[in-house]
């Protein structure tokens, strides 16, 4: 049996108009006690909102497109999950597209999400600077990174704060200026982290670069080892690179942290289970997600997004697993 507004109104002892105001979140306010009666009646009757009908009435679908490059990358997986939870808390439904996994470009993925009549977009993926983005005609908030020259708000972590926390902690172990392991270029947040490190250590630090996969980082670490240019302490821009470095160090007999102290700057959950467990600056994915959803839904949060140092073993500290 299909449950209607009239059924809910009869159970709640109110009018169908009031039921509509409650279930469609407006356009008029309803007293809290009446609202609670309507919601209770709807739940007892098993009322299910017709999203298509609601969209026709309000001009909104309640759908928000979420674009991420690849959820198998731990950091982006955690960020995407945090965004989906935050959207659920805001009574929105996430329509998630993984551009890299689907084989589509970011442009194609955005076009597909827009064709689904989403009310807005939350984008964590980014495209090369030379590729022009598709024209977006709904509200959009970028999370983690916003390409140059595009419209939209950005919610990001304070990368300078994260780098400073890592550098100061390694210096507290008496290592001097730590080296930095960056990406192949200085685009986006990794570039911000690289520049923050350079400003802190000046000419005293060594900069290494590799691609963002664990395999590329491991290969470059082995090459640097053959060249005889080992660092004593190292800040790594991403967890995926750090995993490759730990693997190559183990194969080469480089002891972590005795020979090389390491801190990674993403802080995904998997880093607690490496050998040894990685000291990290955990990025505030939950607060970033909440701020992004707030901006998209008109409930902005002015709080800062600061990473937090999580001390384990790879930096040289004692750590009880």
State residue 55's pLDDT score: 47
Whether 164 and 279 map to the same domain: the answer is yes
State residue 130's pLDDT score: 46
Q: Please tell me which residue, 3 or 57, carries the higher pLDDT value.
A: 3
User: Of 133, 155, 177, which residue sits at a domain end?
Assistant: 155
Q: What is the CATH number of the domain that holds 144?
A: 3.40.50.2300
> Is residue 321 very low, low, confident or very high in pLDDT (cuts 50, 70, 90)?
very low
Residue 270, token pair as written in the block:
């998997």
User: Of 155, 182, 205, which residue sits at a domain end?
Assistant: 155
Whether 182 and 241 map to the same domain: the answer is yes
Does 149 fall in a domain? yes
Whether 186 and 207 map to the same domain: the answer is yes
Question: Both ends of the chain: CA-CA distance in Å?
Answer: 55
Domains: count for the chain: 3
100: enclosing H helix or E strand = helix 99-102
Whether 208 and 265 map to the same domain: the answer is yes
For 76-92, the pLDDT digits (tens) are: 999 999 999 999 998 88
Sign of CA dihedral 257, 263, 266, 267: positive
Write out the residue range of the structural domain in which residue 255 sits: 159-283+306-310
Does 298 fall in a domain? no
Whether 24 and 136 map to the same domain: the answer is no
Please report, for residues 78, 95, 143, 215, the alpha-carbon distance to residue 84 in angstroms, rounded to integers and kept in the order given.
10, 9, 13, 30
Does 292 fall in a domain? no
> Is residue 102 very low, low, confident or very high in pLDDT (cuts 50, 70, 90)?
low
Residue 52 in this model has a pLDDT that exceeds 60: no
Whether 180 and 108 map to the same domain: the answer is no
Whether 90 and 125 map to the same domain: the answer is yes
- pTM recorded for the entire structure: 0.79
d(CA 1, CA 312): 57
Whether 270 and 246 map to the same domain: the answer is yes
For 113-164, the pLDDT digits (tens) are: 888 888 999 998 766 554 555 678 889 999 998 887 777 889 999 999 999 9
Average pLDDT of 233-261?
A: 96
Residue 3, token pair as written in the block:
């449950």
Residue 195 in this model has a pLDDT that exceeds 80: yes
Whether 96 and 14 map to the same domain: the answer is no
Whether 34 and 91 map to the same domain: the answer is no
Q: Identify the weakest region by mean pLDDT among 47-56, 69-78, 168-177.
A: 47-56
Q: Identify the weakest region by mean pLDDT among 49-53, 285-289, 304-308.
A: 49-53
Q: What is the CATH number of the domain that holds 40?
A: 1.10.260.40
Does 297 fall in a domain? no
Residue 295 in this model has a pLDDT that exceeds 50: yes
Does 164 fall in a domain? yes
State residue 245's pLDDT score: 97
State residue 136's pLDDT score: 82
Does 301 fall in a domain? no
Does 22 fall in a domain? yes
Whether 187 and 270 map to the same domain: the answer is yes
Residue 303 in this model has a pLDDT that exceeds 70: no
Does 42 fall in a domain? yes
User: Of 132, 155, 178, which residue sits at a domain end?
Assistant: 155
Q: Which residues contact 178 (CB under 8 A, 6 or more apart)?
A: 166, 167, 170, 171, 201, 205, 231, 232, 233, 234, 235, 261, 263
Q: Please tell me which residue, 159 or 4, carries the higher pLDDT value.
A: 159
To the nearest whole number, what is the mean pLDDT of the chain?
86
* Adjacency order of strands within the sheet including 153-155: 93-98, 63-68, 120-123, 140-143, 153-155
Average pLDDT of 242-269?
A: 96
What is the per-residue burial (b if ≥16 Cβ within 10 Å, else e) of 291-302? bbbbbbbeeeee
Whether 201 and 243 map to the same domain: the answer is yes
Residue 101 in this model has a pLDDT that exceeds 80: no
């Amino acid at each position: 049996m299909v449950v209607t507004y009239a059924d809910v109104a009869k159970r709640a002892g109110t009018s169908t108009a009031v039921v509509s105001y409650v279930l469609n979140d407006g356009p008029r306010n309803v007293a809290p006690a009446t609202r609670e009666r309507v919601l209770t009646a709807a739940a007892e009757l098993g009322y299910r909102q017709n999203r298509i009908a609601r969209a026709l009435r309000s001009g909104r679908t309640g759908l928000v497109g979420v674009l991420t490059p690849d959820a198998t990358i731990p950091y982006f997986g955690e960020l995407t999950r945090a965004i989906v939870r935050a959207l659920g808390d805001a009574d929105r439904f996430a329509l998630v597209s993984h551009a890299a996994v689907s084989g589509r470009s970011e442009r194609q993925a955005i076009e597909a999400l827009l064709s689904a009549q989403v009310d807005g977009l939350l984008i964590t993926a980014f495209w090369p600077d030379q590729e022009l983005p598709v024209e977006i005609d709904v509200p959009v908030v970028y999370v983690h990174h916003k390409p140059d020259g595009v419209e939209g708000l950005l919610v990001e972590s304070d990368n300078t704060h994260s780098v400073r926390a890592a550098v100061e902690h390694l210096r507290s172990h008496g290592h001097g200026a730590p080296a930095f392991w960056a990406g192949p270029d200085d685009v986006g947040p990794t570039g911000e982290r690289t520049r923050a490190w350079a400003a802190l250590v000046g000419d005293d630090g060594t900069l290494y670069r590799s691609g963002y996969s664990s395999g590329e980082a491991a290969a470059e670490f082995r090459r640097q080892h053959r060249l005889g240019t080992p660092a004593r302490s190292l800040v790594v821009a991403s967890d995926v690179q750090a995993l490759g470095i730990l693997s190559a160090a183990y194969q080469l007999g480089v002891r972590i942290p005795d020979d090389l102290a390491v801190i990674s700057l993403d802080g995904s959950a998997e880093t607690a289970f490496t050998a040894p467990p990685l000291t990290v600056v955990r990025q505030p994915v939950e607060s970033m997600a909440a701020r992004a959803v707030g901006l998209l839904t008109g409930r902005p949060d002015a709080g800062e997004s600061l990473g937090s140092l999580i001390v384990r073993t790879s930096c040289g500290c004692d750590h009880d697993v």
